[in-house]
């Protein structure tokens, strides 16, 4: 038996594969103790942990530790003269018109930053070697009070030569053997000092939290007989054994959203869809990503709470538009939806757990696009009257009916999602009309058709059991490890041997790392070069997928860069302008065993056409009620509400729905 468990902000999802049998479960999350929610999911699915051979897990533990500022107390060792690096940051403003704008607060205060008398040159040459005795005394004084739970080391140009970081790390470990130590050269071997220091500080900040969580979860599983393999999802769309992740927690920062993207890509691949935009709408937020030719795009950097994280992540944009997003009126009297969320506790008012503010989920119950007797396939009771009550004050303020104010809130949430998709598509040089929209999560299929309509996307593909797709994505994910390196090389015939050698070195390092964990990697490498015109400040990623590295010539590499540059910036310089490679990123993969296809709920056997009344855009509509299995290959016209067990699919007027041979519900806009 193989099991995937994804802990979200509101619900915890489980998918279990036992031979050709697939079981699913969806239970409320327990934010105060996420591992309890995971154990509840195992119980809800009726699983015996002793029979589980492999468990793959994704959670928001590391993310929440940063957002809630509940990480470890960290001391950061830096090169003398760079103590204010985390405070100075960059000379830009995220909100240029906000006169009260403040830069994001680093997770390590200035008082906990300690300067070491050392210096490394940009080419890796040692300028000033740290004195071991002086460093030992510095470490003793810093750790004398015993207030620190982790140590981080980030020296200038350690990406070029990590020797000084290794020296100081060894001294810290000698004097405090139980203190976790994080070196920047182990987290990211790339330049740009602030981004590297921020990533290192965040890695140390979440390390003890993640290690403790993995330890508690592992112990709880072991108590109930689990003796199988335990893996954790990474932000890059691959997974790693839990023992490795406990030492490299920063790579699990966005594990839940990454699992959903993997699940979406592989679920619809059998139907021939390779260019898609994923829409993962859960209880707290919505995550969107663009997939071109069957491959998710990786970004070399992301941000969390305004702080940069320099590690490969699936290029996902997140907005605060989920089922639990709260509807409110701002100071200017405008209706808003989110980004604040009711979360799992107390949750929407309809959950009857103490929630007293109107949310998007409540709005769907009021509007009729969610039915109280079919919520989560009828497995969870919700209160439609409670949802109406919390919307009545807002409806009175705006002089609207309760149904119309609920519909307006849903439309506002959809506007936020449209803008997020534009950020991963049109703002990156991609036309969304060239893609199909793949929604999942508990709320994604409710909004997908209207979001697609606003973007002129003509096809929506809803995989079976879309509400738990992130959990199935965990089981579909490869074991993946990435190596990065900053090395500036001109794109010229004389440099191609060095470019190939650097890629091959990183390939060997990545494969050896997996081998050390007992994982045999295949020959499928992800190779990306960060390139720019000479004199530019920032780089453009250029993929070498499908190319013969030995046969690659400088002219072809320059051409690939020009195409990538034109796609993003709509221009490329004339041929012959100097181009350079700045950084290298290489990943290696070990694919998982095959997984049987997911199938939606069976027909309920009710005779005759069933229907329900809903309100949308000021109009009362009679919508047909179906379960996924009742859809046939011939298009059925909307309005329709399709029960998918873990989610509801809304097919609005002007759209049709049909079921393909892979059990996908395919929605198309009528001409």
Closest of 200, 241, 210, 147 to residue 480, by C-alpha: 241
Looking at residue 600, its pLDDT comes to: 60
Structure-token match 């909100």, residue found: 95
Task: Say whether pLDDT at 382 is over 70.
Answer: yes
Q: Would you state the structure tokens that stand for residue 71, as one six-digit string?
A: 């990480």
CB distance 649 to 642 below 8 Å: yes
Beta bridge partners of 16: 3, 23
8 A C-beta contact, residue 106 and residue 66: no
CA-to-CA dists, residue 623 to 461, 609, 655, angstroms? 20, 10, 12
| Percent of the chain topping pLDDT 70 | 98
| Predicted confidence (pLDDT) at residue 599 exceeds the cutoff of 90 | no
Structure tokens at 243: 């023992």
Q: Which of 91-95, 186-190, 362-366, 510-514 has the lowest mean pLDDT?
A: 91-95
> Contact 329/405 with Cβ under 8 angstroms?
no
Its sign, for the CA torsion 401, 405, 406, 407, is positive
C-alpha 76/C-alpha 53 separation (Å) is: 40
Task: Please tell me the predicted confidence (pLDDT) of residue 660.
Answer: 92
Q: What is the pLDDT of residue 607?
A: 39
The mean pLDDT value for 520-539 works out to: 90
Tell me the three state secondary structure of residue 253. coil
Span 207-229, pLDDT tens digits:
999 999 999 999 999 999 999 99
CA distance 27 to 37: 7
CATH 3.30.1490 corresponds to the domain 479-590: yes
Residues 115-160 pLDDT 10s: 999 999 999 999 999 999 999 999 999 999 889 999 999 999 999 9
Task: For residue range 4-63, list pLDDT tens digits in order.
Answer: 999 987 889 999 999 889 999 998 888 888 888 899 999 999 999 999 999 999 988 888
Residue 605 has pLDDT above 70, yes or no: no
What per-residue confidence (pLDDT) applies to 116? 97
Is the model's pLDDT at 570 over the cut of 60?
yes
Burial class (CB in 10 A: 0-12, 13-18, 19+), 503: buried
What is the pLDDT averaged over residues 96-102? 87
d(CA 356, CA 205): 35
- How far apart are the C-alpha atoms of 142 and 149, rounded to whole Å? 12
CA separation for the pair 309, 110 (Å, rounded)? 19
Q: Give the up-direction half-sphere exposure of residue 27: CA atoms within 13 A in the CB hemisphere.
A: 21
| Mean pLDDT score across all residues of the chain | 91
Average pLDDT of the segment spanning 332-358: 90
Token pair listed for 386? 């409670």
Domain boundaries, the chain: 2-66+210-252, 72-203, 325-409, 479-590
Q: In what helix (H) or strand (E) does residue 366 lie, and over which residues does it extend? A: helix 360-367
- Strands (E) located in 208-306: 229-233, 239-241, 276-281, 286-292, 295-296, 298-299, 302-304
Are domains 2-66+210-252 and 72-203 of this chain identical in fold? no
Return the pLDDT at 608: 44
How far apart, in whole angstroms, are the C-alpha atoms of residue 246 and residue 219? 14
What pLDDT sits at residue 86?
97
Top-confidence range, 142-146, 246-250, 443-447, 570-574:
443-447
Q: Note the Cα 363 to chain centre separation in Å.
A: 26
Mapping DSSP to helix (H, G, I), strand (E, B) and coil, where does residue 202 land?
A: helix
* 196-208 per-position pLDDT tens digit: 999 999 999 999 9
CATH number of 72-203: 3.40.1360
Q: What distance in Å separates the CA atoms of residue 311 and residue 331, rounded to the nearest whole number?
A: 39
Note the pLDDT of residue 554.
Answer: 95
Band of pLDDT at residue 606, cut at 50, 70 and 90: very low
pLDDT > 70? residue 510: yes
Considering the segment(s) 2-66+210-252 as one domain, its CATH architecture is 2-Layer Sandwich (3.30)
Say whether pLDDT at 619 is over 90: no
Q: Is the pLDDT of residue 597 over 70?
A: yes
The pLDDT value given to residue 356: 93
- With b for 16 or more beta-carbon neighbours within 10 A and e for fewer, the 369-394 pattern comes to bbbeebbbbeeeebbbebbbbbbeeb
């Amino acid at each position: 038996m193989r099991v995937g468990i994804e802990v979200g902000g509101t619900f915890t999802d489980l998918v279990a594969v036992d031979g050709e049998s697939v079981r699913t479960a969806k239970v409320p999350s327990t934010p105060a103790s996420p591992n309890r929610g995971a154990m509840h999911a195992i119980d809800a699915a009726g699983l015996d942990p002793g029979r589980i051979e492999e468990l793959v897990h994704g959670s928001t533990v590391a993310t929440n530790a940063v957002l809630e500022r509940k990480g470890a107390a960290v001391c950061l060792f830096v090169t003398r003269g760079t103590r204010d690096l985390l405070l100075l940051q960059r000379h830009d403003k995220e909100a240029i018109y906000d006169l009260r704008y403040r830069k994001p607060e680093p997770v390590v205060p200035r008082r906990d930053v300690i300067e070491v008398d050392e210096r490394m040159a940009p080419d890796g040459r040692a300028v000033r070697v740290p004195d071991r005795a002086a460093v030992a005394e510095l470490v003793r004084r810093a750790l004398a009070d015993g207030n620190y739970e982790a140590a981080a080391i980030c020296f200038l140009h350690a990406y070029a030569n990590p020797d000084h970081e290794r020296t100081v790390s060894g001294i810290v470990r000698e004097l405090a053997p139980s203190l976790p130590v994080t070196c920047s050269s182990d987290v990211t071997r790339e330049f740009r000092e602030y981004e590297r220091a921020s990533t290192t500080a965040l890695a140390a900040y979440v390390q003890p939290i993640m290690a403790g969580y993995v330890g508690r979860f592992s112990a709880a599983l072991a108590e109930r007989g689990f003796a199988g393999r335990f893996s954790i999802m990474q932000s890059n769309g691959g997974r790693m054994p839990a023992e490795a992740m406990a030492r490299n927690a920063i790579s699990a920062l966005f594990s839940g959203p990454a699992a959903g993207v993997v699940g979406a890509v592989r679920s619809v691949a059998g139907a021939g869809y390779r260019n898609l935009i994923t829409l993962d709408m859960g209880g707290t937020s919505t995550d969107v990503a663009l997939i071109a030719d069957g491959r998710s795009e990786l970004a070399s950097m992301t941000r969390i709470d305004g702080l940069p994280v320099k590690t490969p992540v699936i290029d996902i944009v997140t907005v605060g538009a989920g089922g639990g997003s709260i509807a409110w009126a701002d100071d200017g009297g405008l209706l808003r939806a989110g980004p604040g969320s009711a979360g799992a506790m107390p949750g929407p008012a309809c959950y009857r757990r103490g929630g007293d503010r109107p949310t998007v989920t409540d709005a769907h119950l009021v509007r009729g696009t969610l039915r109280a007797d079919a919520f989560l396939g009828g497995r969870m009771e919700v209160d439609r009257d409670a949802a109406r009550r919390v919307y009545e004050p807002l409806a009175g303020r705006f002089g609207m009916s309760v149904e119309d104010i609920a519909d307006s809130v849903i439309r506002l949430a959809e506007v936020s999602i449209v803008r997020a998709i534009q950020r991963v598509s049109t703002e990156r040089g991609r036309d969304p009309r060239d893609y199909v929209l793949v929604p999942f999560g508990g709320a994604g299929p409710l909004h997908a058709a209207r979001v697609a309509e606003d973007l002129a996307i003509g096809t929506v593909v809803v995989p079976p059991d879309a509400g738990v797709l992130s959990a199935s994505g965990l089981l579909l994910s490869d074991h993946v490890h990435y190596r990065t390196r900053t090395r500036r090389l001109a794109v010229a015939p004389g440099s191609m041997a060095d470019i190939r050698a650097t890629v091959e070195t990183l390939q060997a390092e990545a494969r050896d790392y997996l081998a050390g964990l007992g994982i045999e990697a295949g020959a499928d490498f992800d190779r990306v070069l960060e390139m720019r015109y000479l004199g530019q400040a920032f780089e453009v990623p250029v993929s070498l997928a499908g190319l013969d590295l030995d046969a690659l010539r400088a002219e072809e590499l320059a051409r690939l860069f020009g195409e990538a540059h034109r796609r993003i910036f709509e221009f490329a310089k004339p041929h012959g302008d100097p181009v350079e490679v700045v950084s290298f990123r290489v990943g290696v993969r070990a694919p998982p065993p095959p997984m049987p296809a997911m199938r939606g709920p069976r027909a309920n056997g009710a005779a005759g056409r069933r229907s329900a009344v809903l309100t949308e855009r000021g109009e009362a509509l009679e919508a047909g009620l179906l379960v996924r299995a009742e859809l046939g290959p011939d298009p059925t016209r909307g309005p329709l509400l399709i029960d998918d067990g873990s989610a509801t699919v809304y097919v609005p007027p002007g759209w049709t729905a049909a079921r393909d041979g892979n059990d996908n519900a395919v929605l198309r806009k009528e001409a």
